[in-house]
Amino acid sequence: MAITYEKNTATFASVIYEDEVVSFRDFLQGSSPDELKLNFNECEDVHLAVLQLIMAYKKNYSVSYEFGDSKKLFQQVLEGFDTSENHCN
């Protein structure tokens, strides 16, 4: 598994494919409404479905990110997500 879980922290390593979506969704459901810490230090890329789950969680709960030294596209997406512009409620 490229995502490991410990309490309210998920650590992403290597490339996160869509086969991680269900286990990550279960982690999010089990963690709500707690603040999550998502560690992307060792992550190279993330499937869009996983990003969508993160953004949906962030719409209702607190999420903090930790990124590596080189800026990745998924980092720009997550940092640029404005919950006030998302009308999914």
The β-bridge relationship of strands 3-6 and 36-46 is unpaired
Written as tens digits, the pLDDT of the chain (89 aa) is 799 999 999 999 999 999 999 999 999 999 999 999 999 999 999 999 999 999 999 999 999 999 999 999 999 999 998 877 655 54
Domain ranges of the chain: 3-75
pTM, two decimals, is 0.88
Joined together, the tokens standing for residue 43 give 């992550």
Q: What topology is assigned to 3-75 in CATH?
A: Transcription Regulator spoIIAA (3.30.750)
pLDDT at 85: 67
What is the rounded distance in angstroms from the CA atom of residue 26 to the CA atom of residue 89? 20
What is the rounded distance in angstroms from the CA atom of residue 1 to the CA atom of residue 19? 9
